């Protein structure tokens, strides 16, 4: 995605979220189905589990973003770290559903909405703070996805930016 100059926080946030989504998808496309579900050790999450957690977070945070607490009472965060969807197709369907929630919550917003108060776990945030919090959260998990994919591909990894020793 080419960089585009903007002074709009919302426009820039949407751009970054789409960019991070694209990076994760490009990384996941490089791994085998088995590697999506593989863990490096007992304390690690697989790519599929990271995706499941992100989708659970997206559902909780972005459903009724401006009007209900971002930590929904029916969210069971611990369950997000077990039993991911069993196939690549099911995982990617879930991934897309999560991102649809993100974009349908953000796309209709206007700059004045950024000053509105939203709550997450009973704590007040400006809508802008809540958005920034999620961008940082998703970027960290997408970094995990990329790291795992790069580990599995090793020498066959196709760089998602400037390849090593080619700048």
Smallest CA-to-CA distance from 17 within 142, 155, 163 is with 142
Number of domains within the chain: 1
pLDDT for residue 162? 80
- Structural domain containing residue 49: 16-156
pLDDT for residue 25? 98
pLDDT per position as a tens digit, 56-76: 999 999 999 999 999 999 999
Model confidence pTM above 0.85? yes
Domain-embedded: residue 97: yes
Domain-embedded: residue 98: yes
Q: Bridge-partner residues for 124, per DSSP?
A: 119
pLDDT for residue 5? 78
Domain-embedded: residue 58: yes
Look up residue 45 and give its DSSP letter.
P
Domain-embedded: residue 133: yes
Domain-embedded: residue 91: yes
Domain-embedded: residue 46: yes
| pLDDT band, residue 2 (cuts 50/70/90) | low
Which range among 14-23, 66-75, 93-102, 154-163 shows the weakest confidence by mean pLDDT? Answer: 154-163
Q: What is the CATH number of the domain that holds 74?
A: 1.20.120.450
Q: What are phi and psi for residue 120, nearest 5 degrees?
A: -135, 115
| pLDDT band, residue 1 (cuts 50/70/90) | low
pLDDT per position as a tens digit, 73-122: 999 999 999 999 999 999 999 999 999 999 999 999 999 999 999 999 99
**Strand stretches in the chain, DSSP E:** 117-120, 123-126
Give the CA count within 13 Å in the CB-facing half-sphere of 68.
11
Domain-embedded: residue 164: no
Q: Bridge-partner residues for 126, per DSSP?
A: 117
Domain-embedded: residue 7: no
Q: At which residue do the structure tokens 């953000």 appear?
A: 106
């Amino acid at each position: 995605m080419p960089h585009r100059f903007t002074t709009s926080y919302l426009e820039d946030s949407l751009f970054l979220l789409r960019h991070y989504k694209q990076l994760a998808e490009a990384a996941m496309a490089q791994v085998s189905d088995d590697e999506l579900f593989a863990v490096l050790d007992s304390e690690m999450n697989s790519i599929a589990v990271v995706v499941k957690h992100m989708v659970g977070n997206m559902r909780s945070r972005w459903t009724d973003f401006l009007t209900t607490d971002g930590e929904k009472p029916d969210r069971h965060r611990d369950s997000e770290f077990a039993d991911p969807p069993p196939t690549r197709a099911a995982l990617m369907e879930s991934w897309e559903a999560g991102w649809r929630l993100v974009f349908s919550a953000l796309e209709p917003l206007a700059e004045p909405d950024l000053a509105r108060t939203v709550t997450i776990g009973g704590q007040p945030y400006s809508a802008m703070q809540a958005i920034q919090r999620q961008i940082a959260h998703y970027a960290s998990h997408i970094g995990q996805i990329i790291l795992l994919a790069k580990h599995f591909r090793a020498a066959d990894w196709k760089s998602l930016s400037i390849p090593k020793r080619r700048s």
